[in-house]
Structures are given as C-alpha cells and as structure tokens.
Amino acid sequence: MSYTTTIKEEITTLKNSKSEIIAELSGFIRNNGTIENNTLSLTTENIFTLNRITTFINMLYTTEIIQETVGNLNFNKNSLYKLTISKNINFILQDIGYYDNNNTILPTPPTYIVGANEEIRAYLRGVFLATGSINDPKTSRYHMELLITTPQEATFVQKLLNIFELNAKILNREKGFMIYIKEAEKISDFIKILGANKAVMYFEDIRVYHEQKNKTNRLNNCEQANIDKVIATANLQLKQIELIEKTKSIDLLDDKTKETLKYRKKYPEASLRELAEIISYETGKKITKSGLNHRLRKIKELSDILKKQTS
C-alpha cells in the first residue's frame, strides 16, 4: 500500500459535522466530478474514498447512486471505481457550492462553504481525496502535489493552503495545474491539517531519522576535511624541515624551535593541538598551541629563505 493510500484510508475514518461534510464533498466533486446529460459521475481508485463519498451523499441527499468497477487506462494502477448520480443533481450541486441558483457553474465555491478553519480543512481533504498524492518520506525527496484542472480552482486551493503558511506553489502542466509543496515540515503540517495523525507520526519519525543521518554525515565530512587539512599542513612542514636538514641549516634555529622540528618529525600526523600536548607532556614544559605555531612559523621562514637561495 502506498503512503498516499495510507493517508487517504486514515482520513476517510474521520467524523465530520454537516458543514464539514458539505465542504469535503465540494472539494472532492469540484476536482473529480464529470457532469453530462444531467448525470454526475465520480471516479476513484480508493475503495475507502468511494465508501466515504457514497455515505456522505446518502446522509445529506435523497438520490440514487450506482456503483461500478470500470477499466483503468493505466494498467499499473488498481481498479477504478465509479459513482453515477442522476437524481436531484442540481440541488446537490447548488448545496455544495458548485452551481449557483441558476445552475451555472461557479469558478470557485462561495465563501460560506469554507467559512471556518474546520471547513477549510474539510475542503482540502476533499481535494486531496480527489487528486492528491504525497511521496513516502523514505524516498529521496519530499513532495506533495494536487492536480487541478482550472486556474481559478488552482489559485483558490493555493490560497486555502497558504492560510496555514504552507508555502504552496503552482506549476502550469499540460493537463492543468499542479499545486505542490516540497518542504518536509510544511508537508508534515499539511498531513496534520488533513487529520491523518498516524500518518503524521510516521512521516515525522522518518524525517527526524533523515535529519539525524544528514547531520551525522555532515559532521563526518567536516571531521574528514579537518583531518585532510591537518595532514596537508603537516606534510608541508615536513618538506620545510627536509630542506633545512638537506642544507645543514638546523643550527640557524634556536633550541626551542629545534625541539619543535624534532617532534614534528616524530609525530607527523598530529594536529597542532595534539603536538602541543605531546611536547608539553614529554618535556614537562608547557607549550600552548599559539606558542607552537610561532615556532613552526620560524621553521617556515627559514625554509623560505633557503628556497630562494637554492633556486
């Protein structure tokens, strides 16, 4: 079962007030319904969605509903379920804000359909049940999308989503408009808005795991970069020492710097901090990281002079 199916199954168990039922039906029918010859047809691949929409219509309206299974043009998909409603269509469509009083299609639902936050959530549930999908967070990318047919409805749904600060955006597609969210936190918030609390917990568990894993990888990469830097610096210092020794110029250094030269050769992979600690421990004379760096600069300065003389 896909993650999208899991979310849809969970939200179809939620109980709604009458106004919420109307809002959810409005969101679903606007983004799924086909009206032809005074008949309303609705389709879905999700049996839980089928049962929920059927139950809602029967609860609110006196009508007749025919359920059937039809062939799915996409052979990789599940069976396609179809609802056909042919009685009291105009009344139903007026009640959910799809028609006005003259049975003319409204480009967006009236304000009262989504007058309160709970009704907005219900409308978005209807839209998601009709046309929504969310990637499983186990995949490499976070993505939520809603495919909307008309520009007016797409803009309307985007505004509803952004009431909750979800940063939803729209892309123009060949067959309509795709509203999408790519930020993990925002997708999690959207699932919460739908009311799928179990799906939210699953999503958050995976998201936190990914974040911790990425944080660990970043730390490991940073640590490796520091190690590489230490090794590169030490190798450069060893080359400087090699030149000093080759030209028999060690006596040009003071005793403390000679001591540093000896310890750098002895511990070629030690960082500056580690080398300072080693010298302090083995000689019994405290030297700071800054003091050690000062001595190593003297080695570099002598090496630079010798390099000019021999070039």
Last residue of a domain, which of 195, 220, 249? 195
Q: State the Cα–Cα distance between residues 233 and 227, nearest whole angstrom.
A: 10
Centroid of chain to Cα 171: 18
- Name the strands in the sheet holding 169-173, side by side, starting at the edge strand that comes first in the sequence: 132-134, 144-148, 176-181, 169-173
- 141 & 230 share domain: no
Domain annotation covers residue 204? no
Q: Which range among 63-67, 143-147, 206-210, 272-276 has the greatest average pLDDT?
A: 143-147
Whether residue 193 has pLDDT greater than 70 = yes
Domain annotation covers residue 40? yes
- 246 & 98 share domain: no
Domain annotation covers residue 205? no
pLDDT at 164: 95
- 40 & 151 share domain: yes
pLDDT at 93: 94
- 304 & 220 share domain: yes
Percent of the chain with pLDDT over 70: 96
Name the residue among 139, 140, 144 with its Cα closest to residue 192.
144
Q: Using one digit for the tens of pLDDT, what is the confidence trace for 21-62?
A: 999 999 999 999 889 888 999 999 999 999 999 999 999 998
- 146 & 257 share domain: no
pLDDT at 78: 67
More confident residue, 225 or 285: 285
pLDDT at 126: 97
Tell me the CATH number at 22: 3.10.28.10
Q: State the Cα–Cα distance between residues 137 and 76, nearest whole angstrom.
A: 22
Last residue of a domain, which of 140, 166, 195? 195
Domain annotation covers residue 207? no
Write out the DSSP string of the chain. --HHHHHHHHHTT----HHHHHHHHHHHHHTT-EEETTEEEEEES-HHHHHHHHHHHHHH----EEEEEE--SSTTS--EEEEEE-SSHHHHHHHTTSB-TTSPBPSS--GGGG-SHHHHHHHHHHHHHHHEEE--TTSSS--EEEEESSHHHHHHHHHHHHHTT---EEEEETTEEEEEE--HHHHHHHHHHHT-HHHHHHHHHHHHHHHHHHHHHHHHHHHHHHHHHHHHHHHHHHHHHHHHHHTT-GGGS-HHHHHHHHHHHHSTT--HHHHHHHHHHHHS----HHHHHHHHHHHHHHHHHHHHHH-
| HEC per residue, 76-95 | CCCCEEEEEECCCHHHHHHH
- 175 & 289 share domain: no
Read off the pLDDT band of 173 (50, 70, 90): confident
More confident residue, 309 or 41: 41
pLDDT at 243: 86
Domain of 136 in residue numbering reads as 3-195
Q: State the Cα–Cα distance between residues 214 and 78, nearest whole angstrom.
A: 36
pLDDT at 77: 60
Q: Using one digit for the tens of pLDDT, what is the confidence trace for 115-168?
A: 999 999 999 999 999 999 999 888 768 899 999 999 999 999 999 999 999 999
Last residue of a domain, which of 141, 165, 195? 195
Average pLDDT over residues 294-302: 89
Whether residue 73 has pLDDT greater than 60 = no
- Cα dihedral sign, 172-176-182-188: positive
- 9 & 86 share domain: yes
Domain annotation covers residue 100? yes
- Tokens at residue 79, please? 């069976």
- 64 & 119 share domain: yes
How does the average pLDDT of the chain come out, rounded? Answer: 89
Q: What is the pTM of this model?
A: 0.69
- Tokens at residue 237, please? 């210092």
Greatest CA separation for the chain: 107
Name the domain count of the chain: 2
Q: State the Cα–Cα distance between residues 216 and 225, nearest whole angstrom.
A: 14
Whether residue 290 has pLDDT greater than 80 = yes
pLDDT at 305: 86
- 170 & 216 share domain: no
pLDDT at 178: 95
- 186 & 233 share domain: no
More confident residue, 209 or 32: 32
Provide the residue type at 279 as one letter: I
Domain annotation covers residue 130? yes
Domain annotation covers residue 200? no
- 239 & 189 share domain: no
Read off the pLDDT band of 272 (50, 70, 90): confident
pLDDT at 71: 67
More confident residue, 49 or 1: 49
- 166 & 38 share domain: yes
Bin 151: left if φ > 0, else alpha if -120 < ψ < 50, else beta.
Answer: alpha
